[in-house]
Structure 1
Amino acid sequence: MIQGRPMALIMLFGLSLLNLSSEWPSNLTRPAFVTTLDETLPDSFKTARQLLFDQYQRHYPRIPTAQPVTIVEIDEETLATVGQWPWPRNRLAGLIDAIAAQKPLAIGLDIYMPEPDQTSPDKVADNLPTSAARLAAELRTLPSHDAILAQSLRAAPTILGAAALDHAAFTTRTDLRSAPILVHGTDPLHNVPRYEFVLASLPQLQDAAHGQAMLSVALEQGVVRHIPLIMGLGEKVVPSLPMEMLRLATDSSAVEVFANSSGVQAVGVADVLVPTQPGGDIWLHFASIRSTLGRYVSARDVLQGKVDPERIRNKLVLVGLTGAGVTDMRTTPLGELVPGIEIQAQVIESIFEGRFLRRPTWLKWAESALIMAFGLLIVWYVPRKNSRFAAFIRAVPKGTAFAGLLLHLANLLCCYYIFIRFGLLVDAAAIFIILSAVMGCFFSSALLHAQEQAKAEAAQAAEREDESSRKDSRGNAPLP
């Protein structure tokens, strides 16, 4: 087994570097060769890590203990009753008025309205023939649907959503009228997701609403795992919808960001402080959609006055589309396909409960130190001929595989317990892969050595048999 030591050391240090490059700590300058390595092998450890963390959640999903959010869904029943989407904005104003009448703490709209409403009376008048000049003049005296909606937005505690984009389009803008961000410490702009363009509602509507916020979520292989609480838009920091909803509900003047050279440490509003990853995002511990269906009410029932006022009073209300063909569906780590508005609700719910998943920078270093310590121990101890391990291998050759499986099972169970008990995401996959590869170097070396030894012994046996045959033939030869 001693011949396997050089290869085991190469495997240990090489895979450890590859693992570190796939999740380089933000408080360290990223060397050029690390960037090259990560770009060459982008999914080396990241995919295994993500799938493992998904399995943590699937076996232990969050069970909601509070329901601060109500989702008013524009569902199939609403569209069948009220009309297809998009609605005239005076109709949307009626929905907001009906919600506001029940005294919610805040109303967040997962709806973009970047262009004027073409069903407004003045727009209709512009399309009438000259023979209908009198009718056109009367229509122009009526308020536009955008003006009606703006009045409803101003009268209620409303927040408009916006989507961050990397590219310009006909309806995109480069600024957003958002509440101020109060930064404590270093500027977080170079750490958070940063965009140059935004798809937002008309300036008239932005002026009327009491807040603007980003709705964008991070997708990794089509799955939403972590959600940014703040983002960069040009040279300014803007809040996500959950943080802006909390700001408005607590009547706070600003969202606070705490950052240092390692990145964003926390984002807070009033007395609520949310610990974040260095990029200003959080790993969301998802609850199954089956446990959150009680937060949904149909917009049709709200318009018809059939909803219990307690479902809305003093709640954070999100308004979004769930009807088939008009909603954005997202996949969660639980393998469920949910409306995008559900993810925003789960973020708010997690903040209320104070239950977050965390993967701090020090945890990556702790994992790397553990891998190196055990790896070097394996390299030093396993090849020793007089060790108990060597004696065990000689006595029970197949027992090593069983012992290895037990150790890896203990590793997985320990990491899973830490997830349940402390909400920490420990990468058991990297520990398993690297240490298995190191052990494999010795077993492959021992196997090759055993094969060579078996061939040599077979050759010696064949030679002895041949020599014996020659002796027998000489002994049996007739005398002259």
Structure 2
Amino acid sequence: MKRYRDSFIAFMKRTMRAYRGRPWAVGVLVGLLLIDLCSQWPGNVARPAFLETLNELLPDTFGSARQLLFDHYQRRFPRIPATQPVTIVEIDDRTLEAVGQWPWPRNRLAHLVDAIAAARPLAIGLDIYMPEPDQTSPGMVADNLPDAEAALATQLRALPSHERILATSLRAAPSILGAAAFDHATSTTRTDMLSAPVLVHGGGALDNVRRFQYVLASLPELQGAAHGQAMLNVAQEQGTVRRIPLVLGLGDKIVPSLPIEMLRVATDSPAIEVFAKPSGVQAVGVADVRVPTQPDGDIWLHFASIAQTQHRYVSASDVLLGKVDPARMRNKLVLVGLTGTGLTDMRTTALGELVPGIEIQAQVIETIFEGRFLRRPAWLIWAETGFIMSFGLLLIWYVPRTDSRLAVFMRTVPKASTIVGLALNLLTLAVCFAVFQYFGFLVDAASIFIILSAVMGSFFTISIMETDKPDKPETARLPRTPTRSPTDTA
């Protein structure tokens, strides 16, 4: 067994040393490029069999490094809000203390909708879904009364239900109800919901978007009264929100997310438009706004720090008491959400901040208003691949040359390889940061760094192997025995 192992090691050393290590470096370059492509292969395109096997052996090899780099871009250059199109009416701890615990009776929620609508907002989005009847409605209370209270029960049943009161308020206001898409059925999920028409230009949209079969939505009576229904789903990767779907698939139709539906209602547009190709969704539009998307209908969200957005929050208790200046909500897109302790769905953003889910919806709307989108189109992935391959081959051709200036520099300057590698990687990172800051493109400097460093490292390994080769033993010389001449006699 030891003999086979030694033979294999000797074979690998000969292979690595052949042609000054160039074939070995090419193998490292091509192998890592294939692994990198596997980690970001388009979801709508089937991988070749050998790439599928490679992805199973080394899943998401570069994905984590890539996402951490993209997060660092945003932490270095967070978005600074230039507009304030959104106001958030938060049902916070102060509101719960003043009004009562959640969930509220629906007639109380109707009072909040009426108070917001009085300020004339462009749209009111409720980050709330109500799939079950209100148990505090007069009819529900009547059903639980004893037979002795039959007269009281009759009077209660004559009163409007809390759903009817809320439906009246929703119908009178430019309201949108939230819903959540599910992969599995529950006792309260349905397979469809009322939603605005989505006009698809081109083909392939439904096959590429995130697709679900079930939805947790509000009661049909409330859906019919609201001016729109929208999904509240966000995309999470390793517990962090970086991308938001603008459209989703529900069964055999496409449905909008809350931000794009808010814009539709605010502009009084009859439909949302999706522009697609067989390769996926290209953009989502409403009125004269067109938002470029990823092939699955997502957008990369450029986050602003929560410290920059605190001014958009107003307490629901102040709204109910009439203490909020109507100008805070007039001609604004108003979101209503829960921020009270233990009630809100907290999410981690790319900035590393923990924020309420309603804040993410607000930042999407804000980003669309400002037109400052982060982009990672398919052509950018192939451009990165081409750059890595071209620069890697240049290194493979140039580095082993003993007569090159680089070789002379590496031989004469202490720690030259460290200096060269650090300089190249800092230059690459600086260029990628500049492209992010000025153009909004997410360039994967992490994969460029890892792959090109591995190519350089392969030559470094070979040079160590050459240095460690044992010197050839010198031939032992025996001392010469002096010979005597025949004349040397005593």
TM-score by length of 2: 0.92
Deviations 1:123-147 (A, max 9, x none): 1111111122121111111111111
Q: Distance in 1 between matches of 2:459 and 2:159?
A: 84
Q: CA deviation at 1:294?
A: 0.4
Aligned-partner SS, 2:152: helix
Partner residue in 2 for 1:296: 313
Q: Distance in 2 between matches of 1:97 and 1:49?
A: 46
Partner residue in 1 for 2:40: 23
Aligned-partner SS, 1:213: strand
TM-score by length of 1: 0.94
Which of residues 186, 192, 196 in structure 2 aligns to 1:179? 196
Q: CA deviation at 1:400?
A: 1.5
Which of residues 413, 425, 429 in structure 1 aligns to 2:446? 429
Deviations 1:349-396 (A, max 9, x none): 000000000001100000000000011111111112222222222212
Partner residue in 1 for 2:88: 71
Partner residue in 2 for 1:228: 245
Partner residue in 1 for 2:419: 402
Contact 2:87 2:329 in 1 (8 A): yes
Identity of aligned residues (%): 68
Q: Distance in 1 between matches of 2:284 and 2:168?
A: 32
Q: Distance in 1 between matches of 2:386 and 2:198?
A: 37
Q: CA deviation at 1:27?
A: 7.4
Contact 1:27 1:261 in 2 (8 A): no
Letter in 2 for 1:98: A
Mapping of residues 241-390 of structure 1, within 5 Å:
241-390=258-407
Contact 1:286 1:346 in 2 (8 A): yes
Deviations 1:181-214 (A, max 9, x none): 0111114001100000001000010000000000
* Gap regions ≥5 residues in structure 2: 1-16, 483-490
Contact 1:256 1:267 in 2 (8 A): yes
Which of residues 161, 167, 188 in structure 2 aligns to 1:150? 167
Contact 1:69 1:317 in 2 (8 A): yes
Which of residues 181, 200, 208 in structure 1 aligns to 2:217? 200
Decide whether aligned partners of structure 1 residues 157 and 41 sit closer, same or farther in structure 2, where only a CA change above 3 A counts: same
Aligned-partner SS, 1:63: coil
Q: CA deviation at 1:89?
A: 0.5
1:84 paired with 2:101, answer yes
Q: Distance in 1 between matches of 2:304 and 2:435?
A: 19
1:102 paired with 2:119, answer yes
Partner residue in 1 for 2:3: none
Q: Distance in 1 between matches of 2:363 and 2:201?
A: 27
Q: CA deviation at 1:234?
A: 0.2
Q: Distance in 2 between matches of 1:325 and 1:143?
A: 32
Which of residues 9, 30, 39 in structure 1 aligns to 2:56? 39
Q: Distance in 1 between matches of 2:126 and 2:459?
A: 60
Select between 122-131 and 246-255 the one with higher mean Cα deviation: 122-131
Deviations 1:306-327 (A, max 9, x none): 0010000000000000001001
Contact 1:95 1:302 in 2 (8 A): yes
Select between 420-429 and 27-36 the one with higher mean Cα deviation: 27-36
Q: Distance in 2 between matches of 1:29 and 1:398?
A: 45
Q: CA deviation at 1:436?
A: 0.5
Aligned-partner SS, 1:19: helix
Q: CA deviation at 1:239?
A: 0.4
* Gap regions ≥5 residues in structure 1: 476-480
Mapping of residues 388-467 of structure 1, within 5 Å:
388-452=405-469, 455-456=470-471, 460=474
Deviating runs (4+, > 3 A) in structure 1?
A: 25-29
Higher relative contact order (CA 8 A, sep 6+): 1
Aligned-partner SS, 2:199: strand
Q: Distance in 2 between matches of 1:450 and 1:205?
A: 78
Decide whether aligned partners of structure 1 residues 177 and 36 sit closer, same or farther in structure 2, where only a CA change above 3 A counts: farther
Contact 1:26 1:263 in 2 (8 A): no
Deviations 1:137-194 (A, max 9, x none): 1111111111111111111110000001000000000001000001111140011000
Q: CA deviation at 1:35?
A: 3.0
Partner residue in 2 for 1:167: 184
Q: Distance in 2 between matches of 1:55 and 1:27?
A: 29
Q: Distance in 1 between matches of 2:398 and 2:183?
A: 53
Mapping of residues 38-57 of structure 1, within 5 Å:
38-57=55-74
Contact 2:44 2:207 in 1 (8 A): no
Q: Distance in 1 between matches of 2:52 and 2:357?
A: 33
Letter in 2 for 1:94: H
Partner residue in 2 for 1:478: none
Contact 2:44 2:208 in 1 (8 A): no
Letter in 1 for 2:368: I
Aligned-partner SS, 1:265: strand
1:128 paired with 2:145, answer yes
Q: Distance in 2 between matches of 1:188 and 1:435?
A: 36
Contact 1:90 1:148 in 2 (8 A): yes
Contact 2:204 2:279 in 1 (8 A): no
Q: CA deviation at 1:397?
A: 4.6
